[in-house]
Every structure is written in structure tokens, then in C-alpha cells.
Amino acid sequence: MQFYLCFFKDGYPFEPIQLTPITTLMVGIPSFVLALQPNFNKITNQFMRQVLIISAPAATCIVGYIMIIQGIGMLLGLNYQFTSTLSVLITGAICWLALVLVSRPFNRLKIALDVGVLAAFLLILVFFNNLFSLVSLFNPWVWWIAIPLILTAYPIYIFAQGIISKILDARERRLAKKRA
């Protein structure tokens, strides 16, 4: 994101307070709850790979979608508050998608966690939009732009995950060749 912002005149797509619902509900609370879950799987040397398979596609999608939102904003003459609302929505959606993928295999607690943080995120955006400097979600233009972006997030995320997996596989093969 910083690389993009260095070369283009767009401002940062979020105000710091707008990241609070995302970091609290999609990262902080779930990390705490999921860390308390027992795990009896054998420890492997795949930790970094597993982290990258989830986080790198999410980060790539978030940056890509924010660039698309900034482009749409310039084309349609949307104000900063509107584009930042769209950025918060798509970032929250992609973070929630990553959370759902991390939560597998599901149990009652994980399903309740995933549904609960999504509901809390949407309730915060609906009822406290002014506190977070967001446009009302009852504005139909928000959804005309947000729904296609959100609906395409999962397939693009899975595509990015496949590419990153292939890159990591190629890297592992190169390292194995060097060791042999």
C-alpha cells in the first residue's frame, strides 16, 4: 500500500479510526479466541507457508481493491468519505474471509465467532458510521459499488492463494535442490 501511495497522489484510503472495527473484530478478538483452541496436530516446518497462504492473498486483494476503489472514486468524482467507506467495507469483507479460512475446521465456537464478528462489524458500520467518519450504509450508491466488489473478493482471493502456493512450492523445490 505504501509503495502505491508513494507514486500516486491519492491520500491514504483510511482515517486511523476507521481501522478500529477491522483490527478489533477481524484480527484482535478472533486471534485471542482461536489461540485458546486446543491443537493436537503434529508440529511441522510449514508454519510460515500456512501464514503466507492466508495472509498474502488477503493483503494483495485488499491493496488491489483499494486501488480499484480509488480509480472508481476518481472516475465518478466520489468524495473521500465515500471512498474510505468502500475501502473499509472491502477490507472488512476480505479480512472476514481470511478469518473464515483460518477458522477451519469449524466447530460451534468458531462458527459463533465468525458470525458474531461479522454481525458486530455490520452493526458498528450501520449505527456508528458518524463516529468512524463513514457514509451511511443506507446510501444505495454504497451498495451499487460495494456488492460487486465484495462478490468478486472470494474468487480473486482463491486465485491469489493458488498463485502464492505455486510460488512457495517453486521456492521449496529450489531450496531442496540446493540442499541435495
Q: Which three cell numbers stand for residue 75?
A: 472516475
Give the integer Cα–Cα distance in Å for 76 and 110: 40
* pLDDT at res. 151: 97
Residue 58 has pLDDT above 80, yes or no: yes
Give the global pTM: 0.90
| pLDDT, mean of residues 34-43 | 84
CA atoms within 13 A on the CB side of 133: 14
Higher pLDDT, 58 or 6: 58
